[in-house]
Amino acid sequence: MKKTYHGSCHCQAIRFECELDLDDGTSRCNCSVCTKARFWKTVVKADAVRIVGGEGELTEYRFGGNNIRHLFCRICGIKPFGRGHLDELGDFVAVNLACLDDATDEELAAAPVRYEDGRHNNWNETPAEVRYL
C-alpha cells in the first residue's frame, strides 16, 4: 500500500516527501557509484517525489552514459535521490531509503530487495556476490 514518507539529507537542508509502497521492492546495485555510496533505493515515477525545502542546495553528478542525475546536498554530501529517464519507465526518481526519516526499521527490514549487476551493465541480472551490497 502506498504511503507518504518524508525524507531529508543529513543536515536537513534538503527535505522531500514521496509516495511509495516498499512492498513494490527495493534494489541494491554493484555499479561503482552505488557501491561506494552504499545506495539502497526504490524507484518511483517522477511525480511521486516533491522537494519541500532546499532545492537550491542540490548539486548534480553524472557519469558513464550521463543518464542519471545523481543529486547531492552541497552542504553535507548526502544523496537523497537521483533522477532519470528510461524508455520502459519514463521519468523516474531513485529514492535513497536511508534518507526516509519516518520509515520504520520494521518497514525497511520487510522490504524486498533485488540485486542489480550494474558493474557489468547487466541490470536485470543478480551479481554473483551480493553480501557486501
Dist. CA 97–CA 76, nearest whole Å? 17
List, in order of start, the domains of the chain with CATH numbers. Answer: 3-111 (2.170.150.70)
- pTM equals 0.92
Cα 107 from chain centroid (whole Å): 16
Structure confidence by residue, pLDDT tens digits, 59-71: 999 887 777 899 9
Contact (Cβ atoms closer than 8 angstroms) between residue 97 and residue 20: no
The answer, yes or no, to whether residue 20 has pLDDT greater than 80, is yes
Of 4-8, 28-32, 51-55, the least confident: 28-32
Structure confidence by residue, pLDDT tens digits, 26-52: 999 999 989 999 999 999 999 999 999
Amino acid at 119: R
